[in-house]
């Protein structure tokens, strides 16, 4: 049975190249190509799988995955950047697969075949990133009380000097705590740290929602990312 594939692109050249690649496979057929700005007005006819280009790990990709899933399409994201927190947020939106643009065509074909029959697929590097995340599920217990205090202030967008004054410690100590927090979380960027900490309930003190995917009730910074 032929898999009807929708390609949602950001860059035209990428979309054209992927379309040629997909159509070269006997059991695959590109039924439509769509720029991501047109998702809202697109009406699903017979497309079963969408290959969605992700240029950056941002709120737009999350929104596009959500919209496509609501239209009854299985979604495979094709992107460059691996961010364990971002992939987890995509999973929360119902993502069916993730393939890096650096992977070979066989990985993409395998992803389509598995997702088409209801099996989620993640290429090797993405699987490794998710596995690392699972190893850090007890991060809260690893943080000292002072590190948790610093983490709360970081999420509140406080500068090091402001944190130092509030907690009555030196700026150098704040920087040390921040470095240790990032190491314990295994996060390579500040945004990933915020997402993870908020979603995992480590930020109980502020009582606010700070990032995409957070379970808190309020969020002035909900569109971070």
Q: Which residues of the chain have pLDDT under 70?
A: 84, 129-141, 155-157, 185-225
> In the Cβ-directed half-sphere of 30, how many Cα atoms lie within 13 Å?
20
Q: What is the pLDDT of residue 225?
A: 35
DSSP string covering 27-83: TEEEEEEEEGGGGGG---SS--EEEEEESSSSHHHHHHHHHHHHTT-EEEEEES---
Rg (CA), the chain: 20
Q: What is the pLDDT of residue 172?
A: 94
> What are residue 28's DSSP bridge partners?
3
Token digits of residue 129: 């990133």
Nearest-angstrom CA–CA distance, 95 and 77: 8
Nearest-angstrom CA–CA distance, 188 and 174: 18
Location of each CATH 3.40.50.2300 domain in the chain: 3-134
pLDDT tens by residue, 34-43? 999 999 998 8
Q: What is the pLDDT of residue 220?
A: 38
Neighbouring CB atoms inside 10 A of 44's CB total 14
Q: What is the pLDDT of residue 93?
A: 86
CATH class belonging to 137-225: mainly alpha
Query: Look-up: residue for tokens 């971002």?
Result: 86
Global confidence as pTM: 0.62
Token digits of residue 7: 């390609």
- The separation between CA 175 and the C-alpha centre of its own chain, rounded to angstroms, equals 27
Q: What is the pLDDT of residue 56?
A: 79
Q: What is the pLDDT of residue 28?
A: 92
Tell whether domain 3-134 is in CATH 3.20.20.70: no
Q: What is the pLDDT of residue 19?
A: 95
């Amino acid at each position: 049975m032929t898999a009807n594939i929708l390609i949602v692109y950001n860059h035209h050249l990428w979309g054209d190249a992927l379309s040629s690649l997909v159509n070269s496979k006997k059991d695959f057929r590109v039924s439509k190509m769509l720029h991501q700005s047109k998702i809202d007005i697109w009406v699903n006819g017979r497309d079963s799988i969408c290959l969605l280009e992700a240029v950056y790990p941002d709120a737009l990709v999350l929104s596009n995955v959500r919209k496509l899933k609501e239209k009854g399409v299985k979604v495979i994201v094709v992107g460059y950047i691996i961010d364990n927190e971002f992939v987890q947020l995509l999973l929360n939106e119902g993502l069916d697969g993730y393939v890096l643009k650096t992977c070979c065509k066989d990985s993409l074909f395998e992803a389509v075949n598995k997702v088409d029959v209801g099996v989620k697929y993640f290429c090797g590097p993405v699987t490794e990133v998710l596995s690392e995340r699972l190893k850090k599920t007890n991060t809260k217990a690893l943080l000292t009380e002072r590190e948790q205090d610093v983490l709360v202030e970081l999420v509140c967008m406080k500068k090091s000097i402001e944190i130092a004054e509030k907690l009555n410690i030196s700026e150098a100590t704040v920087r040390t705590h921040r470095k240790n927090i990032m190491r314990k979380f295994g996060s390579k960027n500040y945004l990933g740290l915020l997402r993870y900490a908020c979603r995992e309930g480590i930020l109980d003190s502020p009582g606010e929602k700070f990032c995409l995917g957070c379970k808190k009730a309020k969020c002035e910074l909900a569109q971070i990312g």
